Amino acid sequence: MHIAIDAAGGDFLAGNIIDGALVDARHLGFGLTLVCFSDVLEAELTRHPDTTAIDIRVVPSQEVIGMDEGPAAALRCKPWASVRVAAEIVTKGEAAAFFSVGNTGATCMAARAAREIESVSPVLKAMGSSG
């Protein structure tokens, strides 16, 4: 099983996200599909030479949606945004789920657009949303 990780989302780009994802993948035994800018992923994975036991796939993205951007407009204008690419990986059946610490609205909308409504609905309800 693979989890797609939007490593470009969040305030500190890929560093902390990849660190945590690798720890979890080792501990829980799942594969990772890391989505981010190619050069950033390459640099981050170089910091972790002990990843040979983890099934890691690297998928380049060309854009990121900032925390201050409106989610709908950003998703329309940025088809190669990391969160959108990660959601589409799930839609294609190449990952069981995706994770992003980036723009929450964009994450929810990307999941909805990728037809992963069933996966999103419990999270939205837990957050107190009626969506």
Asked if 36 and 82 touch (Cβ cutoff 8 Å), the reply is yes
Q: Token pair 């890391």 is at which residue?
A: 34
Domain 2-126: which CATH class?
alpha beta
Burial of 31 (0-12, 13-18, 19+ CB in 10 A): middle
Enclosing H/E stretch for 113: helix 104-113
| pLDDT digits 0-9 by tens, 75-104 | 999 999 999 999 999 989 999 999 999 999
3-state secondary structure of 126: helix
| pLDDT digits 0-9 by tens, 34-72 | 999 999 999 999 999 888 899 999 999 999 999 999 999
Residue type, 11: D
| Nearest partner of 4 among 16, 17, 15, 13, judged by Cα | 17
Hey, CA dihedral for 67, 38, 58, 20, is it positive or negative? Answer: negative
Q: Domains of the chain: which residue ranges? A: 2-126
Asked if 41 and 7 touch (Cβ cutoff 8 Å), the reply is yes
